[in-house]
Structures are given as C-alpha cells and as structure tokens.
Amino acid sequence: MELKDSKQFENYFLVALLLLAGALVIYTFLPYVSAIVFAITFAVIFSPLYRYLRKLLHYDWLSAFITVILVVLIVLIPFGFLVTRILTQATHLYSWFAGGNEVRLGDIVNNFLRQHFVNLNLPQVDITTYVSAALGWVVQNLWSFVGGIARVALTIFLSLFGMFYILKDGGELQKKISSLVPLQQQYSKRVFDQMERAIYSVIGGSIMIALIHGVEVIIGFWIFGIPNAAFWGSFAVLSAIIPTVGTSLVNIPAIIYLFATGNIVGGTGLLIWWIIISITCVDNLLSPQIVHRGMKVHPFLILLSILGGISAFGLIGFLIGPLVLAFFFALIDIYPLLIYGHNPEAGN
C-alpha cells in the first residue's frame, strides 16, 4: 500500500513539475509569440511550395531556404512597402483632421443625391468625428506595432528562421509531438491534417482573398483618383471578410464620391473596375479555387476570430484569432472519431 502511495505521489509530483516547466516555457516564449505565429503560419501556407522544391531538388535544407527567400521577395517586401504607405497616409490624414480642417462629406453626397433623386429627404452626415477616431486608432496601433525598428527586424528574422526549421524538420517535429499527445497515432495525425486544412481555409484562403481585395482596391482607387488609396485599401481588407457586404462597403462610397465631385469618368471607371475585377474575377473565379480547397468555415466566424484576436492580443491577433479558430474546427472534426470510432455523417 505504501509502494502504491509512493508511486502515486511520484506521478503527481512529475505532473506538477511538468506544469511548472510548461508555464515557465510559455512565459519565456511569450515576448516572441509574434515570431512563432508568423513562422507556423507561413510554414503551413507555403508547405506545398516546399514539397514541390524538395521533390525537384532532393535537399531538405536547400528547398526550405529557397522557400524562405521566395517568401521574403513575394510577401514581406511588398507587405512592408504597403504598411509604410498606409502609415504615411494615415498619419497625414490624422494630422490634417487634427489641424482643424472639417470635411462635411455628407453635404457633398446629399447635394448629389438630391440632384438625381429629388424625392429623398436625407439627413446631414458629418463623418469627421468617426474618421478622426478611426485614423487615431490606426496611427496609434500601427506605429506601436512597427515603431521599434530593431524589434521588428528581430521578429522578422526569428519568423524566417523558425519557418526554415519547421519546413526542414516539420515531419520529425510532428512525430515528436504526436508521441507526447495521449491519442492514437491515427487520431493525432488526423488532428494535424485537419489543422493544416483549417489553416489553409481560414488564413491561406479567406484572409488571402481579403488581402487580394485590398490590393485591387488600392490599384483601382489610385487609377481613378481616390486620394490616400493605400489607407482605404486597408479598410477594404477587413470589409472583404464581412459576409455579403464585402468590398462594397468601401467601393460604393468611393464611387458616389467621384460622381458627387463631378468626376464622371472616374466614377464610371471605378464602377466597372469593381464589377469586373472585384466581383467577377476575385469573388467568382479566384475565391472558389482557393477557399474551397480547405475546410469550409463561415466568413462570419472568421471575421469574429480576427476582431476577437485583435482585441485580445493586439494587431498580431489577426493571425492568432484565426489560428485558434482553425485549431477548434480541427478538434471538432476529429471529435466523432474519438467518441464513436468513426464519423457518424459518413455512415460507416
């Protein structure tokens, strides 16, 4: 009896040590959570490219290295340039509003609508306060996120370094984690597979489409004369995730603004651009090809995960929130297998 009690005490003591060690590891890694999240996200999204290069080159390290270089050239450099432009334009607009300049866009829009729809009795709309508040939030949070050059450089370096080793040694790492998880190998493998599919759907799919929408909005606004196109394009990224609404939340006011200010050619051109590029090409042709490859997750849940992630973790939450959602849906998918031994919907 004493031997049994001693063994039980040892087990409890070991579990307590493991919990303590795990808490200390999490606390130690906490300052670098951004780098870890970026490394995992990019490694999963670009793993098909890595596998293709490995099949072609037959070297794990070389394939991983080339994949990282391509991510730098294709993603990080353009994204850094875009963020810089957004910050510059947001700061300029915020300073302009803070300097006492007031723009009653409602007057312009209402006058235009009354000229063409005389029966409308529209209230005056002063969006100055709302735009100023939004600009203040963007400037404050983005500058705090990228304000420290050394910190940003370290985060990027660690992200790329982590991505390299996740791609290169990801298979062994997955086996190691699977051996520690108290699940049968087939179930733990299924969790990893479903997690990968969920990340493809949530981050590599919906968020990628939203970023593409942001880019095409920036290009369209720049071509047809909407000032501060990069700043408004950042709002288009968020609006693109909203179900049903999409980029109409940004495009329609811009089109009305162009018509109201007498730029008929620009308004017509932006309307055509929106219909052809945004709705036809991106929404109807490109989006099904990208999003439907992964797990189907409702866009409203993705939007909530992004907003909730930002609220809980700051700007890096736009990735952490969807990652948590992806992990949740991966567990939901594997749950019937653990409980019933098969998926009841499959009829097996």
Highest-confidence segment of 26-35, 173-182, 317-326: 26-35
Q: Which residues contact 46 (CB under 8 A, 6 or more apart)?
A: 67, 70, 71, 163, 167
CA distance 316 to 256: 34
Residue 237's pLDDT is 83
pLDDT at 293 over 70: no
For 205-229, what is each residue's pLDDT tens digit? 777 888 888 889 989 999 998 887 8
Q: Would 286 be classed as within a structural domain?
A: yes
**Domain around 256:** 181-348
Residue 317 lies in a domain: yes
Report the pLDDT averaged over residues 13-33.
83
Is 101 inside any structural domain?
no
**Whole-number percent of the chain with pLDDT over 70:** 68
pLDDT, tens digit, 9 for 90 and up, residues 75-129: 888 877 777 777 777 666 666 655 544 445 555 555 655 555 545 554 554 545 5
**147 has a pLDDT exceeding 60:** no
Q: Which of 165-169, 244-248, 266-270 has the highest mean pLDDT?
A: 266-270
Does residue 326 lie within any of the structural domains? yes
Could you tell me if residue 148 is inside a domain? no
For 29, residues 6+ apart whose C-beta sits below 8 A from its C-beta are 36
- For the chain, helix, strand, coil in percent to 5 are 85, 0, 15
Please give the Cα distance from 173 to 167 (Å, whole number): 10
Judge whether 125 lies within some domain. no
Residue 144, helix vs strand vs coil: helix
Question: Is residue 119, in this structure, part of any structural domain at all?
Answer: no
**Mean pLDDT for all residues in the chain:** 75
Residue 273: the pLDDT is 92
Which residue's entry shows tokens 């049994």? 4
- Residue whose pair of structure tokens reads 């009829």 in the numeric block: 347
CA distances from 203 to 46, 227, 278, 333 (A): 12, 30, 19, 18
Q: Is residue 1 part of a domain?
A: no
The model scores a pTM over 0.75: no
Cα 266 from chain centroid (whole Å)? 31
Summarised one tens digit per residue, pLDDT across range 27-54 is: 888 888 888 888 888 888 888 889 889 8
Q: Among 162-166, 194-198, 299-303, whose mean pLDDT is lowest?
A: 194-198
Listed in sequence order, the DSSP H helices in 202-247 are 208-223, 229-241
Report the run of H or E that residue 66 belongs to, with start and end. helix 60-71
CB atoms within 10 A of CB 121: 7
Give the total number of structural domains in the chain.
Answer: 1
